[in-house]
Structure 1
Amino acid sequence: MLTGWIIVVGLIASVLAQPGAPAGAPAPATTQPATTPPTPAEPPAPAAAKPDPYVLGFTLKDIDGKDHDLSKHKGKVVLIVNVASQCGLTKPQYKGLQDLYTEYKDKGLVILGFPANNFREQEPGSDQEIKAFCEKNFGVTFPLFAKISVKGKDQHPLFSRLASQPKPIGGDPNWNFTKFLVDREGKVVARFEPQADPMSKEIRGRIEELLPPPPAGVK
């Protein structure tokens, strides 16, 4: 009997001798895995700059090679047109533009014609040839400018500014006699496509909306 108790006590002692936390000892703290700090949010992209709608800040050569500062027309309504001498639209457009200018020039309208050879090379002549053609055939008296490019890699900055505007005003001219209407502050406000008759009710109506009111007592 004594031998049995000795065996039991030995077994208990053997169990208690096993490695491990002593009874009642606090459980070891659990180590949390390292966490990567969150990546900072990307700053919002800056808003795209709005295109500048004011287009009278350029100086160009006129048809006689003299500097012509467009800013001198601020305070007037301005119609900017790319023109050509050998286009199917040449005759009706030049006639209509000159008629429009004659009717409204004393009320505050100026038309600026910019010869350009961008469309099927329909303006091949020299500046003086263009001037003589316009005066002889259409009696043009509104300002004409030295020939420039109105689209493509050599586009003049004036027409780059016009093309940069939001639709429906913006975009390169798609043919000769594209027309851009500029208000008295120098801001481009409307576009009329090549086939639009300069003497149409639409164009004349927009111009009349922008012209200064007549002096008191003048109709």
Structure 2
Amino acid sequence: MVRPSVDTHVILDAAALLIAEQGFGRVRMDAIAARAGVAKGVLYLRFADKEELLRAVVDRELVLATRRSIELVEADPRGGSFSRLYLHAVTALHSRPALLRLYQESTSPLRGLAQDDERVRARELLGAEFIRALQAEGIVAADLDADVLAANLTLWNQALVAQAPRTGIDALILGMGELMARAVDIGVADTSAGKRVFVAFAEALISERERP
């Protein structure tokens, strides 16, 4: 049954499901409307075009993944260590199938939507600025090159996403977390400073993505 009015989140849910199933390039507005149970015209009352709708999906998916990562970090007694921050951030990303599809579609013009703003990139979770903030708090070894570490993590995470949703992803994430524990963690007993840094970066990223 077609509904004349529906909450925008229902439309975004429908679009995210289709993206996960088909990819960004193949999703059509009429298919999104059908999945959401609304007339296609309703979509154009909310969004100027398909790209604007997909941008809204990306923003919301990033926000949901980031909020999930905050929950995981705050619930973990050792959640402020770099290895645990890595583990929880990547786990949260892999909980959002539409985001995984975005990162997998390297040739899509929408590939840059997740990191298309300088302010967002500066607050990128697991990025160089984030690592430097952890170094300032004594969570990550000061002699590590933050830019090199961030670049290596980006390459690793891209390779990991390319494997999804095949089996064994959880083991790979845990394995990288163990490597980070040995190579990056300082081993401080109190990691609350790391949690504070992470939450500050995460909330700033959420704020940027939720801007009107």
> Do both proteins adopt the same fold according to a TM-score greater than 0.5, normalized to the shorter chain?
no
TM-score tier by shorter-chain length is under 0.3
TM normalised by structure 1 equals 0.25
TM normalised by structure 2 equals 0.26
> Which structure has the larger Rg over C-alpha atoms?
1
More helix by proportion, 1 or 2?
2
RCO comparison, higher one (Cα < 8 Å, 6+): 2
